[in-house]
Amino acid sequence: MQTTPYPARYGFLDGLRGLAALCVVLAHQDVLPFGHEAVLVFFIISGYCITAAAQAAMRSGRDSWPLFRYFMWRRIRRIYPPYALSVLFFAATRVVRAHVGRGSGPSTDPLAWLQNLTLTQWFTLIPHPDLPTRNPTLFVAAYWSLNYEEQFYLVVALALVGAALVPARLRTHLALVTGACVLWLAAVGTDVYHGFFPEYWPHFAIGAFLYFALTAEARWMATRLYAGALSLLIAMAIVGVRGHWSWLPPERAHELLLLSVFGLLLYFGRPLDDTVTRARIWRPVAALGTISYSLYLVHQFNLTTSTLIGTKLAGLLHVPAAAVTLAIGAQLGIATVFWYACERPFLNPPAVLAASTAKPGAPSVAGP
C-alpha cells in the first residue's frame, strides 16, 4: 500500500456494482445461487460511496442543517425519481398482465401504495418481524434493500449534522453509530429483522471505513485499524460458522465472513484500480455499472417478459439452449432503456465545493 492517501474516487466499485446487479438478475433467473450475497455487497459499496459523498458535502462549507438539506436533497434527487417511476412501471406491467389474463392487477390498498411510494415498507416489519424479502407490503421483493439504504442516507446525514455541531470528524460520529448498532444486535439478536437499519449497518460500515482507511490523513493508524478490525471479524466469523456463537447464527456468520474478506480485497486491491479500470476488457463491466441501479429496479417484475422474449428469440434462431442468455440480454435491454428515460435525467451535477477547500478526486455522485 502507498504511504499517501488515495483520491476518493474508486472507479473499480462502479464495475463491481454492475457485476453485483447482474448476479442478482442471474439468481432470479435460477442461474446462480448467491443473489442475496450480491445484495449485501451493494451495502459495502454504498457505504464507501455515501461516505465519500458526505465528505464532499462537508467540504462545501455549509453549516449543520443546511448541510443536512444539501446532502439529503442530492440523495433524494438521485435515488427517488427512478425508484418512483419503477413503481409506476411495475403497476403498468400488472395492468397488462391482468388484461391478458396472466395475473392479477396492481394493489388497490392506499396504505400499501403510500408505503411503496415513500420507501417505508419496513414499517410493516416493526410489529411483525420477518425476513425483509418476505415483507408482504413490498410490491417488488427486491426493493427490500432500498428500505435500508434510505435509512443509511438519513443516518449519515444526521452524522454530518453532528460533525458540524460537535467538533469531531465524520468518522468519529460514524464509529459511534457503529458501536451503538453492535450493541443493538447483541441485545436483539442477529437473526431478528424489524426492518431497522442496525440490522445491516455493519455491512455498510465495512464500506464506510474502507473510505477512511484509503483516504484519511491519519493514514498509518487508519489503514492498520481497518485491516486489523476486518481480520478480527474474519476470525469471529469462522468461529460463528462452526456454531460456537449463540448470538451469531451460522448463516449470519457466513455473511460476515464473506463481507469481511470482500472488504479486505477492496482494501488491498486499491493500488490496481487505475490498471483495471483503464483496461479495454473492463469497459463493458463499467457500462454495466452505469445501469446497475436501473437493472436492480426493473429486473424482477420483468422476469416473465424477459423469459418470454428469450424463449421466442431462441426459437427463431433455432438455438433453444440460448433462451436464458437471451432472456438476460432482454433484461439488460429493458434496464438500458429505463436508464436513459428514467434515471439519466436525474443524475446529480458535480458537487460544488468551496474553492478554498475543494480537493481533487472527490466523487460527484454516490451510487445507490
pLDDT in tens, 316-349: 998 988 999 999 999 999 999 999 999 999 987 7
> Is the whole-model pTM more than 0.85?
yes
How far apart, in Å, are the Cα atoms of 203 and each of 23, 27, 47, 282?
Answer: 18, 21, 8, 26
Which one-letter DSSP state was computed for residue 3? S
Report the distance separating Cα 294 and Cα 298, nearest Å: 6
The mean pLDDT value for 243-264 works out to: 84
Quick: pLDDT tens for 33-42. Answer: 889 999 999 9
Sign of CA dihedral 265, 270, 273, 276: negative
Give φ, ψ of 358 to 5 degrees.
Answer: -65, 140
Cell of 88: 409506476
Per-residue model confidence as pLDDT tens digits over 112-122: 999 999 999 99
Residue 59 — very low, low, confident or very high, per pLDDT cuts 50/70/90? confident
Model confidence at 82: pLDDT above 70: yes
Least confident of 246-250, 260-264, 319-323: 246-250
Q: Integer distance in angstroms from the first to the last C-alpha of the chain?
A: 28
pLDDT, the chain, mean: 88
- What does the pLDDT look like over 84-131, one tens digit per residue? 999 999 999 999 988 887 778 889 999 999 999 999 999 999 999 999
CA distance linking residue 92 with residue 107, whole number of Å: 11
